[in-house]
Amino acid sequence: MWFFRSPSIVYGEDSISFFNELPQRRLVIVTDGNIIRAGLLQKIKNELPSDSEILIIDDVPIEPTISYVLSLKGRIIDFNPDLIIGLGGGSCMDCAKVVFVTYERPDIDLHDITPLVNLDLRKKARLILIPTTSGTGSECSWAAVISDDDHGRKNEFASPEIIADFAIIDPAMVSSLPEPVRKSTAVDALAHAIEARSSTWKNSYSDIFSDKAVELISGNLFDAISHPENMEAVSNVHMGASMAGLAFSNSQITLAHSLGHSLGAHFKIPHGISVGIFLPHVIRFNYAESKGEYVALNKKFPPNLRKRYLYLTVENFLKVLSMPVKISDLNIKKDEYEKKMDSMVSVALESTGTVLNPRDAGRAELEMFLREIE
């Protein structure tokens, strides 16, 4: 027995017009200053029924903390919304998921957001997520990452009840993404698809989303970068990223994410870059265990990018994107890196991605990966 979980998905050009017919009228929009400056909030507002009352939370930090989320609770309860909208990258969407819980269940401790606790949500409101990057897949997932107040630990809160009611995959929300963000978030999405395909929890449902995600991302990303006005290419990458989100949310991520989270937390590196740097190494390490999956995925890359083996293809893909491959490309000093080695191994070991990797990896193997990029 197992499940396939997904929000209802509204996709393609003009999908934000979905808001024209919204039955709700009291809306909270959880977003950040960059999204507002990029004019994306206004685009959503233009689509809302004219008699909507809106409370805008406009200051979600890059790494939202538990006390930040809790600080919003009173205002939101006072406002009494019937819809919560998360608009932004992973931080805004994750924050909206947890805000949704604190509003529905003010009595609950955030650490009780686990699949083992029946939260009994949706007594007051619904949740809609609108991604403004093509990468995190948070709009499709049942997890939310919220940091401890001292940023020492990132808590992964997870519950099937925090899956959005609707995910809106509109390319207009990502048409003006800065190029480095488009690249690094797409690499993150590619890693979601590849890792979901080889996790020990992989299944027939997650497999089909992995395969299509790799096809859409690898086949359209370069067009989307060089011609961001090509809405078909932008939309395909955006859909691919959401499919990768569905894939890993219904399977799991593996070692490249365990290592990437750890490296990223120790040296403040954008998620897509820190995960991408390990991806070819992890594929090579897992090759014997996941050969069938990797061969299938390799065929999904366009012929001009494809190499004989998936790890070579991914290496090539990252090279064409000019992504970092060594710690020197990230301006990390060797002695600093060495000093943090033991701690990086420990954090990677704690990650569930390590347990669900198709090939066993303990401290020695994790250290080996960290040295391969040194």
Residue 205 within binding range of other proteins, rule CB under 8 A: no
In the bound state with other proteins, the residue whose beta carbon lies nearer, of 55 and 110, is 110
Residue 38 within binding range of other proteins, rule CB under 8 A: no
Residue with tokens 């909270």: 28
Amino acid at site 150: D
CB of 191 to other proteins, least distance (A): 20
- Contact with other proteins (CB under 8 A) among 306, 352, 359, 372: 352
Residue 170 within binding range of Fe ion, rule CB under 5 A: no
CB of 280 to other proteins, least distance (A): 23
CB of 69 to other proteins, least distance (A): 15
Check: CB of residue 213 under 8 Å from CB of residue 279.
no
Q: Is the dihedral of CA 366, 194, 219, 186 positive or negative?
A: negative
| DSSP structure class, residue 90 | H
In the bound state with other proteins, the residue whose beta carbon lies nearer, of 142 and 222, is 142
In the bound state with other proteins, the residue whose beta carbon lies nearer, of 335 and 360, is 360
In the bound state with other proteins, the residue whose beta carbon lies nearer, of 82 and 350, is 350
Size of the site for other proteins (CB under 8 A): 20
Burial 317-343 (b: 16+ CB within 10 A, else e): bbeebebbbebeebebeeeebeebeee
Residue 155 within binding range of other proteins, rule CB under 8 A: yes
- Contact with Fe ion (CB under 5 A) among 170, 188, 207, 211: 188
In the bound state with Fe ion, the residue whose beta carbon lies nearer, of 136 and 290, is 136
Helix (H) or strand (E) segment spanning residue 158: strand 154-158
Residue with tokens 């691919």: 240
Helix orientation angle between 231-250 and 179-198, rounded to the nearest 10 degrees: 40
Check: CB of residue 315 under 8 Å from CB of residue 308.
no
And the tokens for 70?
């809790």
In the complex, the residues that contact Fe ion under the rule CB under 5 A are 188
In the complex, the residues that contact other proteins under the rule CB under 8 A are 1-2, 111-112, 114-116, 155-156, 200-201, 346, 349-350, 352, 354-355, 360, 362-363
